Amino acid sequence: MALSQFYNKVGAFPYSSDTIRVAQNLFPLGSIFAVATLWKQKKKDILLISLLAVSVFLGLWCVTSWPDWLAKITFLSNAQPERLQSVLGLANIFLSIRSISLGEIQLKPHIAAAAAAVYAGIITYVSQ
């Protein structure tokens, strides 16, 4: 028996394993990094643009309700938005990695450490 199933039975853990898996992708940062990278470099990176398109497409599917004819054309008529969140999270992680690898931003180590500490503090405060 998986640990999350055990916790769900005793009522101590209110989330499913899909929720835990998606919670670790730092959602808006991948898209923000991708747009900033595309804006700054002024050249087209096909992989970054396609990942951003997939992320926006699946994000819109998860947030909004599409008409039935459009859902059938895109083959998402049988897909549940809760299940697509895992794919959206994976695309967001790939976006973050690709954007950071293409970036040419040089930060001083003490500024980067301070920014990381502030961000970690915000995430810790929000998660409580």
- Structural domain span for residue 82: 24-126
Query: Alpha-carbon distance 111 to 81, whole Å?
Result: 38
pLDDT tier for residue 9 given thresholds of 50, 70 and 90: very low
Residue 119 domain-assigned (yes or no):
yes
Query: Mean pLDDT over all residues of the chain?
Result: 77
Is residue 65 assigned to a domain? yes
Q: Token digits for 103?
A: 């970036």
Per-residue burial over 75-114, b if 16 or more Cβ lie within 10 Å, else e, is ebeeeeeeebbeebbebbbbbbebbeebeeeeeeeeeeee
How many C-beta atoms lie closer than 10 Å to residue 67's C-beta? 8
Q: State residue 15's pLDDT score.
A: 52
Residue of 73, 56, 76, 55 whose CA lies nearest to 65: 76
- Model confidence over 22-73: pLDDT tens digits? 556 677 778 888 888 888 888 888 999 999 998 888 888 878 878 888 888 8
Residue 30's nearest CA partner among 54, 12, 3, 8 is 54
Q: Is residue 81 part of a domain?
A: yes
- Can you give the pTM of this predicted structure? 0.63
- Under the banding of pLDDT at 50, 70 and 90, the label for residue 118 is very high
Domain-located, residue 43: yes
4 lies in some domain: no
Q: How many domains does the chain have?
A: 1
